[in-house]
Amino acid sequence: MSSDATPCPEGDSPPDSAFDIPTDAAGIEGLAAAGIAPAGEPLPATSARPPLGTGQLEAAQLGVLTLENGAAINVTLAYRHDGPGPDAPQILVIHALTGSADAAGDWWEPVIGPGLALDTDRYGVLCANLLGGRYGSTGPTSIDPATGVAYGGAFPQPTARDEAVALWALADRLGIDRFALVAGGSLGGMVAQEVALARPLAVGHLAVLGAPAAMGAMALAWNHIQLELLDALGERGLALARQLAMTTYRSEADFDGRFGRQVEADGRFSVASYLDYQGGKILGRFDPDTYRTLVRVMDSHDAGRGRGGIGAAFRVLESTGTGVTGIGIEGDILFGPAQVRALVDAAAGAGVDAVYRELASSKGHDAFLIEWDQLTGFLAEALADGLARSGY
């Protein structure tokens, strides 16, 4: 998701990638202004219950979390909450690979706010920077209290399930005991599944956008190449990994329409110039260790692991009456419609009330941050179902 994925003034170019989200309009400086120190610096202490409904980036210190791999880490999550507090219905939104907590002010701004699909006059909307992230949450650029220096590559590796545990710990800290809707795209859609499966009684509806029930071999292969580039070349490898990833975030039709065989003044193909620009851009706001950590979170995703398979995993949602919407994306190279349909079919086969919807778009995977009119309809439908199932 991306700064390029924010609403564009008329005449501006469309978003470039669903994996390119700044912290907010003011970048890292904006975090400091909101009371969140840049990653790697101590975060301010919070009260016993951090604030809700401020529309500001906040920090919640959650204490020690023990990861699936046995490592124990003291966790702080950066988050933003808009709208009323726990007495009203609550919605959890989860970001993609290099995202921030600022869904309502940035990457999903057209669907979160007063009178919008996720109406903050009526509902609370929570989004947090994932554990291991770059924008205020504990991650590789945070200080390891045992050494006094940044964790770097020694940061304990979380899984998608660890991310869900951290998000529920944040919800507990904020006094939220139930979500009418949990929604996320790409990596966010993977973590959203784990959030629902961790506490199915506390989720009315699960909306998964452009994500499978388990990482498939092709996506694992692309991630493997990116990780190899990081390991071999450091920051240069991060730039190249980003370029490789960008080719999976858009569709062939989009690249052909935007670039074709156009050549720049320096003799390079326009598409090559674009990829070089995106590779350089990631270096200004991310780092190899954080990127590696979150790619491995993605690789860990398998909703059926240890649960008897994907169908058996979703059966728990049937028993609790949780609804599911899988939203596929036309032309998605990374996680195509067939993978999202398979998720919906597995859930339906387990007895879950599950529906499939598809974004019609030429933009590929990034469509879940571009096709606002379609997203508005799909999210409103999922939320209405979640509200009904939650008794509102």
Q: Which residues are catalytic?
A: 186, 332, 365
Quick check: 191 and 130 in contact, CB under 8 A? yes
Quick check: 324 and 318 in contact, CB under 8 A? no
| 15 closest CA partner among 366, 375, 373, 376 | 366
- DSSP SS3 for 323: strand
Q: Residue 170: enclosing H or E segment and its boundaries?
A: helix 160-174
Question: Cα–Cα distance between 184 and 188 in angstroms, integer?
Answer: 4
Hunting for tokens 């990457």 — which residue is that? 107
Question: Cα–Cα distance between 323 and 315 in angstroms, integer?
Answer: 11
| 244 closest CA partner among 372, 97, 30, 382 | 97
User: 134: number of CA atoms within 13 Å, CB side?
Assistant: 28
* Token pair for 214: 């388990």
Question: Cα–Cα distance between 95 and 18 in angstroms, integer?
Answer: 9
Helices (H), 199-287: 217-249, 252-258, 270-283
